[in-house]
Structure 1
Amino acid sequence: MNERRSTPSSSSAPDRRHRRRSGGRRGGGARRRRGVRSRLLWAVLAAGAVLVFAGGLALREGGEAATDRSAGPAGSPGPSASSAASARPGPRGAVETQKAETTEKEKERTDGTEGAGKVDPGSIPSSGPGTFATAGGGGERVGGSGRTLTYVVQVENGIGIPARDVAAEVERILADERGWTADEIVGFRRVSGGASDFRVRLATAGTVDTICGRYGLDTGGEVNCNVGQDVMVNLKRWLLATQYYADDVTSYRALIINHEVGHFLGHGHEGCPGAGRPAPVMMQQIKGLHGCRTNVWPYDAEGRPVTGPAVG
């Protein structure tokens, strides 16, 4: 029996190829879409990670800026832990106390005596070169209408005290209304050169002993003297005073100047006039008060002389 084989028509093959090509394009498009979605997902995740890292870095830098606002310019070292701690503000009272203490220390350093009354005795030189620096300038005349006594102020070289500071203190003492000018006769004027009536000389104990010893006086490394035209001031006494004036060194300096200038004016030693009364300035108070009260002026505030019995 003859069977007729059916063969695909020429139109069916292109249809299958078309379907295959169509199916291939649909599959490739799906893969591409999945690839795009995957890349988008990774991009989103990566962007999130960058944002998280940047946020953490910003927080870190912000924290450092908040805790160290005193840092210097870029590249310069910041303050140490100790300096940062010292920069923290404390209670107002503590700050004011610290300022007061600082002011007091600065005052001591600029006093010209390196902290009068608070000096270590062992730090005071016992001897020097025996040469002197004279304070420059000059002062106005002070005192009464009688003779004017001129004087210079000198400080031994190498003791660390400016002559100008000592001169200012001596001028203040001799100009005081309770001083020797209270008699309304004697007057004083400081000069810096030429001839002068007397010299106030601040020197080490060794130099004082040497100069005073030339006139037969034994100052023993402890006391002051007046010999010839020299009012010799022992550096030790100038800085430390004595036991009776240990808390008021400035007053004791007035006693030194008034006592030794008193000798230059011709006054001798005096004793205590009575218990509870002020000690005369010509009394050797370093040897004891003998019942008297401390006093450093030859006259009182009313212009009356403070005297006592003469001591031979």
Structure 2
Amino acid sequence: MTHRTSPARPHGRRRRSKGSAHARPARKAPLAVGIAALAALTAVGLVVTEFGNGSESTASTRQTASPRTDTATAGSPSSSGTPSSSVTPSASPAAEKKPEGGPGTGIPKSGPGTFSTAGAGSGPFGNGRIVTYSVSVEDGLKESAEAVASEVDKVLADPRGWTADGATGFRRVADDAADFVVQLATPDTVDRICGEYNLDTGGEVNCNVGRHVMVNLKRWRLATPAYAQDVPSYRALIINHEVGHYLGHNHETCPGAGKPAPAMMQQIKGLRGCVINAWPYATDGTRITGPPVA
């Protein structure tokens, strides 16, 4: 059974404007060379601005801090629903370019902006303070709210997830009274809801704003180049990263070459020598972390 919901109108900080690159041709260089150089630098500027704003969110407990955006993953539930602890080699930084997807992928760019919420509920699982959540999917997508909710439940209940801190638990509910809501939506709808908090997700990335954990349909289906062979793991990273922001965790970076990338790292921007990882904790209960991002 599903329940129709419409996204609340959020409000927030001013949107950060994207940067741009400009080049001044040499006075005596041939005109053709100057134009070619300008075109090349402009292309570089476009790549920089697209990823400069990122897409991995940050928040404080119960989302009282200013929102941000982002996502990435490794070693998450397999397609069979059974958690996988395997970590595949990371892609080189050069491979971490613009995520693929667009015309011809079968992924709709926009939708109606209304949502169906998964019925029933789950849990509770974990200890300490129980945080409630609901899961909804934008109407018209092939993914059902119940199927997406099942994946989210498995990620949040995994012993390598946020419940490993011993102080956090989760329980899924089927109504709008949840503390936060995980919403799978088309790129335009994600942009609109995140944009109401003045965040620029550029049609590519996810965000956490207020009580909204917004999941971009393109990333849910295609992941990123580093996770192209393990989409379920990238989905786990999306949930762990954005829910981590909701719980108050900020961005981190790679702790060293060959080490697992923290779940709170903006892995979509590159791994910086780390290997992919979707989980905040290792199987032995050790927190996988890295230096904070200033």
TM-score, scaled relative to structure 1: 0.61
Name the aligned partner's letter for residue 190 of structure 2: V
- In the other structure, the counterpart of 1:63 is none
Of 143, 157, 169, 2:151 maps to 169
Q: For 1:183 and 1:286, locate their aligned partners in 2 and report how far apart those are by CA, in whole Å.
A: 25
Q: For 2:277 and 2:123, locate their aligned partners in 1 and report how far apart those are by CA, in whole Å.
A: 27
**Cα pair distance change 1:240/1:159, threshold 3 Å:** same
Which stretches in structure 2 are left out of the alignment for 5+ residues?
A: 1-78, 82-99
- In the other structure, the counterpart of 2:292 is 310
Matched, 1:229 2:190: no
- In the other structure, the counterpart of 1:184 is 166
Name the aligned partner's letter for residue 173 of structure 1: V
Name the aligned partner's letter for residue 133 of structure 1: S
Q: Percent of aligned pairs with the same residue? A: 64
Matched, 1:249 2:222: no
Q: CA RMSD in A?
A: 2.1
| DSSP-derived class of the 1:182 partner | helix
Matched, 1:197 2:179: yes
- In the other structure, the counterpart of 1:138 is 121
Offset, 1:120: 8.6
Offset, 1:157: 0.2
Q: For 2:122 and 2:250, locate their aligned partners in 1 and report how far apart those are by CA, in whole Å.
A: 28
| DSSP-derived class of the 1:151 partner | strand
Offset, 1:122: 2.5
* Structure having greater relative contact order (Cα 8 Å, sep ≥ 6): 2
Matched, 1:271 2:260: no
Offset, 1:159: 1.1
**Cα pair distance change 1:159/1:279, threshold 3 Å:** same
Offset, 1:119: 11
- Bigger fraction of residues in helix: 1
- In the other structure, the counterpart of 2:140 is 158
Q: For 1:194 and 1:124, locate their aligned partners in 2 and report how far apart those are by CA, in whole Å.
A: 27
- In the other structure, the counterpart of 2:264 is 282
Conserved in 1, the CA contact under 8 Å of 2:137 and 2:184? yes
Conserved in 1, the CA contact under 8 Å of 2:160 and 2:281? yes
User: Which runs of structure 2 are paired with 1:12-23 in the superposition (5 Å)?
Assistant: none
Offset, 1:161: 1.0
Name the aligned partner's letter for residue 138 of structure 1: G
| DSSP-derived class of the 2:116 partner | strand
| DSSP-derived class of the 1:123 partner | coil
TM superposition outliers: structure 1 runs of 4+ over 3 Å: 117-121
| DSSP-derived class of the 2:105 partner | helix
Q: For 2:169 and 2:207, locate their aligned partners in 1 and report how far apart those are by CA, in whole Å.
A: 21
Conserved in 2, the CA contact under 8 Å of 1:119 and 1:240? no
| Structure 1 residues 44-87: Cα deviation after superposition (integer angstroms, max 9, x where no partner) | xxxxxxxxxxxxxxxxxxxxxxxxxxxxxxxxxxxxxxxxxxxx
Offset, 1:309: 0.6
| DSSP-derived class of the 2:225 partner | coil
Name the aligned partner's letter for residue 134 of structure 1: T
Name the aligned partner's letter for residue 111 of structure 2: G
| DSSP-derived class of the 2:133 partner | strand
- How many aligned residue pairs are there? 198
Higher Cα Rg, which structure: 1
**Cα pair distance change 1:139/1:178, threshold 3 Å:** same
TM-score, scaled relative to structure 2: 0.65
